[in-house]
Amino acid sequence: MSTVELTRFRVLPSRSEELLAARADMLKDFEADRSGFLGARLVQLPDNEWLDIVDWATPADFAASREKGANLPGIARFFAAIDSLVVAEEGVSAP
């Protein structure tokens, strides 16, 4: 079983293209810098909300990533496009 990070956030309509343009570089930065990063999916929801589903090998890998924050340019650009956080949760994938 892997750890799953679920982050729901709002993006102003005027910044949606910026968010999507930054996504590829954010994922490259995660792959290069985040131990235990297994992959991510971004889902567009109604009302300018998005859900980022990120898979981590272990809870420790996820915790270490959180400590690093927006430490690389691609990650920082993606985070900068976010207007507000709705909710952030952590779970375990079912077998």
Burial class (CB in 10 A: 0-12, 13-18, 19+), 64: middle
Q: For residue range 1-21, what is the model confidence (pLDDT) as tens digits?
A: 899 999 999 999 999 999 999
- 70 vs 19: CA distance, rounded Å: 14
**pLDDT band with cut points at 50, 70 and 90 for residue 63:** very high
| Averaged pLDDT, 64-75 | 97
Give the closest residue to 65 by CA, choosing from 7, 10, 1. Answer: 7
Cα torsion 27, 32, 35, 36: sign: positive
- How close are the terminal C-alpha atoms of the chain, in Å? 6
Model-level pTM?
0.94
* Per-residue model confidence (pLDDT) at position 10: 98
